[in-house]
Amino acid sequence: MLNNPVGPKPKRDNKNLIIQAGVILIGLIAGYYYYTGYIKGELEPIVVTDIKANDNLSKFKDIKSLDFNLFAEQGFRVLKIIGEAPVLPGATGRGDIFAPF
C-alpha cells in the first residue's frame, strides 16, 4: 500500500461551516446597519456664527497702498532664473485618448 504524504483528507465539519456562515451573516447585518445609518448616535450640534463677528476681511479696509520696496533689496536683486523659462512641456501623451490607433 502506498503512503500518502499529504494524509487523508479531513472531513468537513458542519459545526465549523455553521460558525463561518454565522460570522459572515453577522458581518453583513452589521455592515448594512452601519452604511444605512439605521443606528443613529449623538450628532454634533451645528454652531452657527455670525459673519460680522468673524469678519477677517475687515482688517484689510485700512490698507492705503502696498509697499513694494521689499523687492528692491539686495536679496531679491541677486536672484537669477535657472533652467528653461518658460518651462517647455516636453513629451506629451496623445491628444485624444479615445481615438483609434
pLDDT of residue 25: 97
Length of the chain counted residue by residue: 101
Instruction: Copy the grid coordinates of residue 93.
Output: 501623451
pLDDT of residue 20: 94
What distance in Å separates the CA atoms of residue 8 and residue 4, rounded to the nearest whole number?
7
Given a cut of 80, whether residue 92 has pLDDT beyond it is no
Given a cut of 90, whether residue 13 has pLDDT beyond it is no
| Domain-embedded: residue 69 | no
| Average confidence score pLDDT of the chain | 78
pLDDT of residue 58: 72
Letter for the amino acid at 26? Answer: I
What distance in Å separates the CA atoms of residue 1 and residue 8, rounded to the nearest whole number?
14
What letter would DSSP give residue 6?
A: S
What letter would DSSP give residue 36?
A: H
**Comparing 82 with 29, which gets the higher pLDDT?**
29
| Domain-embedded: residue 23 | yes
pLDDT 10s digits, 37-68: 766 666 677 787 776 666 677 777 777 788 88
pLDDT of residue 15: 84
| Domain-embedded: residue 19 | yes
Domain limits at 26?
A: 13-38
Q: What predicted TM-score, i.e. pTM, was given to this entire model?
A: 0.31
| Domain-embedded: residue 88 | no
| Domain-embedded: residue 30 | yes
Based on the structure, what is the number of domains in the chain?
A: 1
The conformational region for residue 87 under phi > 0 = left, psi -120 to 50 = alpha, else beta, is beta
- DSSP letter string, 22-36: HHHHHHHHHHHHHHH
